[in-house]
A = this chain, B = another copy of it.
């Protein structure tokens, strides 16, 4: 398939970037059923690290096998598949070249006591991404954590190395930590701030969570109210987050969280589409469903992002 004007316009926003990175972004934007549309659906499977194997895979035990996820992403025609080192390696030969991969380069786990602070371990390197033929590295930051400055410095260095070696950078910008209460983690002012920080750090693709209409920071709340920023609907909030990502100059994809009903998943996608977001990153809601159901659901999401549903 030839490149499209939509994709070319997206790439133009990545000024000053290496051709290698642009080629990798092009590769992901031109892969699968959404190729050429400027929209993306990515399958991420790092829940084994984050929540443990049983909580992640027992509901649909095929998922214990790393090959399952490669196949699901390929068969559903997604744009890319993201996972930690061991997970990607376990199918690296079998599926080489069949789908763009994103090496999730840091990971948290559910076995930390609270006292060690909100942080993740860096568990892979840019050279691992090169060796495994990945298109991008993925890296989580926790704006709001006392460890955030360290995480920003880690991704600065990894992003620099990755770009110089022609690898794109995806930042999972997840507000969390000492500065935030539970409502704050999903508040719209915080989500927009998280998108802005990722953009300022040089992310090529930004992954944030869908947000609520809660406003968390006092100083911010005053401004939202004074300026009448529309955060009433999910679509409006997506639009505000796109604005906060350099007025749409960066690709932003949204995640949906724990497994839920498909209608709810579709509603999310429609809001993302309506608000001008670039797509979904959808893990548990795909691989915890039986394979047939997951393929159905992903097919429906493709239709939504093609403006057909």
A132 within 8 A of B: yes
Report how many residues on chain A are interfacial, defined by Cβ distance under 8 Å. Answer: 88
* A175 and B111 form a contact (CB under 8 A): yes
CB 8 Å contact bits of A266-286 with B (1 = contact, 0 = none)? 000000000000000000000
A5 within 8 A of B: no
Residues in B with CB closer than 8 Å to A85 are 156, 200-202
Docked Cα-Cα span, A83 to B179, in Å, equals: 25
List which A192-229 residues lie within 8 A (CB) of chain B: 192-193, 195-197, 199-203, 217, 219-220, 223-224, 227, 229
Mark the stretch among A10-18, A27-35, A72-80, A294-302 that contacts chain B. A10-18
Residues in B with CB closer than 8 Å to A16 are 88-89, 92-93, 131-132
* A55 and B220 form a contact (CB under 8 A): yes
Residues in B with CB closer than 8 Å to A202 are 85-86, 89
Docked Cα-Cα span, A113 to B180, in Å, equals: 8
Docked Cα-Cα span, A192 to B65, in Å, equals: 14
* A84 and B220 form a contact (CB under 8 A): no
Residues in B with CB closer than 8 Å to A111 are 143-144, 148, 175, 179-180, 190, 193, 217
Measured CB to CB, the nearest residue on chain B to A61 is B243
CB 8 Å contact bits of A152-192 with B (1 = contact, 0 = none)? 11001000100000000000000101111000000001101
* A196 and B94 form a contact (CB under 8 A): no
Residues in B with CB closer than 8 Å to A6 are none
Residues in B with CB closer than 8 Å to A65 are 246-247, 249
* A227 and B149 form a contact (CB under 8 A): no
